[in-house]
């Protein structure tokens, strides 16, 4: 296809992203330690070999999420401990090229995700296991906000200082700042002698 300069909406085909337009899809499924999750009933074959479908959705400001479908004749796959609800997994996807001696695989970096759901359908050919996953930010949607209403200022600042750590400052509504490192050392058991007066 060639470009048409008279019609600005008409564009030529984009360059292929795969080497010579060919490549085998690859999905690596790993546990939180980085070891491949395998099928123990099939000589520890990596689960990525059984994946028939893979989706990954990225939307700015929203949790990354997706799913993959495993099709196998081993009904015990759905019971693997690594594939249970809220278990962390690491995923890597891409393409492996036929002339891998000249061109290495084209793969994403490892992404740590969390399993949000798994379901299993029994078919005449075996089982179809659907694993839905998301990144850990999805947990923030269900976390209650931390609110220190009704507590005194010292308790509130102490809790904030424990979470923030050293070398941090906070501006208060009274237009003065608190040195968290100094405050932390004085009020939480440190030694204030080494800190100068503000």
pLDDT in tens, 78-137: 899 999 998 999 999 988 877 666 666 778 899 999 999 999 999 888 899 999 999 988
CA-nearest of 20, 39, 24 to 93 is 24
pLDDT given at position 16: 57
Q: Phi, psi at residue 19, to the nearest 5°? A: -65, 120
What structural domains and CATH numbers belong to the chain?
Answer: 19-141 (2.40.10.10), 153-194 (no CATH)
pLDDT given at position 148: 52
Percent of the chain with pLDDT over 70: 58
pLDDT over threshold 90, residue 172:
no
Between 151 and 178, whose confidence is greater?
151
Q: How confident is the model at residue 195 (pLDDT cuts 50, 70, 90)?
A: very low
What confidence tens digit (pLDDT) does each residue in 19-53 have?
666 778 889 999 989 999 999 988 999 999 999 99
Whether the pTM exceeds 0.85: the reply is: no
Q: What is the DSSP string of 93-156?
A: EEEE-TTTTTS--EEPPPEEEEEEEEEEEEETTEEEEEEEEE-GGGGGGTSPPP--TTS-HHHH
């Amino acid at each position: 296809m060639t470009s048409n300069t008279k019609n600005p909406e008409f564009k030529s085909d984009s360059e292929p992203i795969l080497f010579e337009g060919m490549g085998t899809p690859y999905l690596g499924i790993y546990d939180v330690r980085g070891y491949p999750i395998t099928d123990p009933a099939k000589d520890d074959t990596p689960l990525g070999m059984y994946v028939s479908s893979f989706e990954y959705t990225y939307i700015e400001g929203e949790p990354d999420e997706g799913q993959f479908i495993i099709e196998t004749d081993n009904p015990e796959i759905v019971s693997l401990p690594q594939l249970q609800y809220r278990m962390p997994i690491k995923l890597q996807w891409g393409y492996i090229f036929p002339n891998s001696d000249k061109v290495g695989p084209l793969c994403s970096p490892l992404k740590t995700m969390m399993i949000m759901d798994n379901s299993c359908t029994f078919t005449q050919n075996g089982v179809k296991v659907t694993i839905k996953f998301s990144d850990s930010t999805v947990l923030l949607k269900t976390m209650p906000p931390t609110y220190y209403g009704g507590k005194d200022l010292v308790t509130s600042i102490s809790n904030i200082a424990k979470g923030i750590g050293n070398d941090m400052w906070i501006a208060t509504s009274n237009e003065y700042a608190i040195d968290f490192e100094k405050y932390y050392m004085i009020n939480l058991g440190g030694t204030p002698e080494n800190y100068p007066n503000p």
